[in-house]
Structures are given as structure tokens and as C-alpha cells.
Amino acid sequence: MRFGRAPRQVRAVNDVSFAVPRGEIFGLVGESGSGKSTMARAIAGLLALDGGTLTLDGRDISRPVEQRERAVIKRIQMVFQSPEATLNPRQTVRQMLSRTVKALTQRRGAALRDRVEELARLVHLDAALLDSYPSGLSGGQRQRVAIARAFAGDPDIVLCDEPVSNLDVSVQATILTLLADLQQRKSVSYVFISHDLGVIRYLADRVGVMYLGALVEVGPVDRVFAPPFHPYTETLFAAMPTLDRPPAAIRAQGSMPSAAEIPSGCPFHTRCPRFLGEQCVTQEPPWRQPVAGHAYRCWIPPDELARIQRPIWVQSTREKDAMMRSAEETA
Ligand SMILES: Nc1ncnc2c1ncn2[C@@H]1O[C@H](COP(=O)(O)OP(=O)(O)OP(=O)(O)O)[C@@H](O)[C@H]1O
Ligand SMILES: [Mg+2]
């Protein structure tokens, strides 16, 4: 995915490849500007691909949304960070949901009305709110409407782009619990983007780590959250509030370069706390596979990284469990 023209052309997503099996939650993490949203928007067909392919059950769906069949569109839905951006301020919740159900399904008349009410129940939205306008809803309620809309056509994949980061902390857990519950009940797949590694650890089955538009590590959550990990992943963990503070040296140096000037060799070499030298600057590092299914792209071999890296405790995991449980009880 590219934006703009040379010499200021931005390579927002490049050389990224992953598959999301049915019913899996695939987490996507990386600093601001690493290409996560661009990736999700490309999958949803909201941006046209400049190269590469997207397949759904083996079928090529690389075309943008205007050129996709309705049957494909309803299978891939998206939940955004700010529901405000997608909710029409001049329509009631009922009007919006009806419109979506009509666009994505054959339901009309009573079946349509029933489906709208069923969707409200699905996301625990009080039926009385169906006749409200978005301005009359809280942030959490608006996000429930956006989620109801995403589930209107019984999707197979829901792309969640920071779905709770604009919400009040007290509401975040209830929306996360709702998303987790819907995923289980409907056995859909999620591509779940979050800055919060605690949330990723709690929700995701596998995780991909992006840096400057490239995937630098991918694997099951349990593997990626323990050494050996990519030095970039290590710095992400180090930036988290942890019980066990990592040594100060395990920090990414400086700020992320512009996506218009991606460094040669390993894109992370300019900031890497484990920089080796010349080879990191001049040659693209190989993919390493500590175990089947877990891979990271670095010159340092797994046994060496495992020896020098310390386990990093993402503090929020257990607390988040407790928080989720209490949120569930309240809900
Ligand atoms: N419409 C656009 N026009 C030009 N550049 C863009 C556009 N959208 C994204 N970019 C650039 O592409 C790169 C990736 O941006 P993207 O929004 O995908 O990152 P992100 O990982 O989602 O970041 P964040 O965590 O802040 O949401 C950035 O360099 C960004 O400036
Ligand atoms: Mg984003």
C-alpha cells in the first residue's frame, strides 16, 4: 500500500503476509504509523491495493469494496476506533441498522424489523435506544451500534481497529467482553488492532508485530510474549507498565523514521537496542523460526536471543482478567 508520489511516497504496508483461520483472533500491534489501519482498510476493500493479493477461502478478493460482490462484502466487516465517523447523525439507530440489514440481506418487512431488534439484543443495546440519534447515545452505546452493524450480515471476519481506545476506561472492558463473547458465539475471525498489549494477550490467539509497514514477527500469543522475541517486540513490551522493569537499554532509540524513508537492511536497525553492525544496515535479515508457527525477522538467532532477553511481564493480563470478570458481572 503506497500513498503519495516519489520522492515523498509513503510505503505504508509492504511485504506483509499472514493467514487468519476461521474462528481465530489475530492481533496486530505496532507503533503509531506502522501501517495497521492501512492493512485493515485494505482487507476491508476501503483502499485499493497497489500490489499483492487478498484471498477469502481461496478466492481472490483483491478488489476494492465497490467492485466486490455483496456476498463478499457482508463476510468482511469493520469496527472503527471512533463510531462517530461511521454513524449518520441524521438517522436513528433503527434507521441505520435497517439500512445495513437491507443492504446485506434479503430480509424485508417484519423479518427486517425483527432482525434489527435481534441485533440490538445481540450487542446488549436497550431496545428503547433504537429510536435515538447517535447524539443521544454514550460513546459505549455508539460503539455497540457500530458492532451491531458489523454483525448484521453474519460476517466471517470482523476487522477491529482500536475499537475501545476512544472509550472511557470504565466502558472499555464491557465492549471488549462483548466483542470476545460475540466472537465465540458466532465463531467469526477477528483481525484485532490494539496498542494495548494486555488486551492482545487476553484476546488474541496469534499476533503479528508491524514496524514501518512490514511484519517483523508473527506467532501464537504465548510464544510472542516470551523470549526469544524480535528486538522491536522486546522494546514494545519494555514500554509497557510492567512489574518487572526491563533494563533501560531495552528501549527503541529515537523516534520512528518516516515511512517515506524506510531504512535499508533491517528497517529497525536505526533504533535497535540489539544492533549488531554492518549486516543489519546492508542486508535484509532472514526469517527465524524458534518453533513451528512462530517467526521473527532478525540477524540474531533464537538461542542467542533467548539467552540475552529477559521475560517481560505484561502486568495488565491478570488484572484485565479480573476487570473483565467484574465487567461481565455488571453487564
Ligand atoms: N490517506 C493517507 N495518505 C497519506 N499517507 C497515509 C494515509 N493513510 C496512512 N498514511 C501513512 O501510512 C503510514 C501508516 O499509517 P496507518 O494509519 O496505517 O498506521 P497505524 O499503524 O494504523 O497507526 P496508528 O497506531 O496511529 O493508528 C503512516 O506513515 C501514515 O502517515
Ligand atoms: Mg491506525
Q: Which of 36, 200, 215 to mutate to test the pocket of ligand 1 (most atoms within 8 A of CB)?
A: 36
Using 50, 70 and 90 to split pLDDT, how confident is the model at 175?
Answer: very high
pTM across the whole model:
0.93
Q: Pick the more confident residue, 100 or 322.
A: 100
**Does ligand 1 have an atom closer than 6 angstroms to the CB of 178?**
no
pLDDT confidence of residue 247 = 63
Residue 139 CA to residue 233 CA, distance in Å, equals 31
| Ligand 1 midpoint to CA 35 (Å) | 6
| Residue list, CB under 5 A from ion ligand 2 | 37
The rounded mean pLDDT for the chain is 92
**Does ligand 1 have an atom closer than 6 angstroms to the CB of 30?**
yes
**Does ligand 1 have an atom closer than 6 angstroms to the CB of 14?**
no
pLDDT confidence of residue 85 = 83
pLDDT confidence of residue 270 = 97
pLDDT confidence of residue 319 = 54
Q: Given a cut of 90, is residue 251 above it in pLDDT? A: no
What is the percentage of the chain residues whose pLDDT exceeds 90?
A: 82
Using 50, 70 and 90 to split pLDDT, how confident is the model at 287?
Answer: very high
Across residues 47-53, what is the average pLDDT? 96
Q: Given a cut of 80, is residue 100 above it in pLDDT? A: yes
pLDDT confidence of residue 123 = 97
Phi-psi sector, 187: left (phi>0), alpha (psi -120 to 50), beta: left
Residue 185 CA to residue 197 CA, distance in Å, equals 24
| Strands 294-297 and 214-220, bridge-based pairing | antiparallel
**Does ligand 1 have an atom closer than 6 angstroms to the CB of 285?**
no
pLDDT confidence of residue 250 = 80
| Ligand 2 midpoint to CA 179 (Å) | 19
pLDDT confidence of residue 322 = 58
pLDDT confidence of residue 136 = 96
Residue 50 CA to residue 251 CA, distance in Å, equals 33
Q: Provide the edge-to-edge strand list for the sheet that holds 294-297.
A: 76-79, 157-161, 189-193, 25-29, 206-211, 214-220, 294-297, 287-291
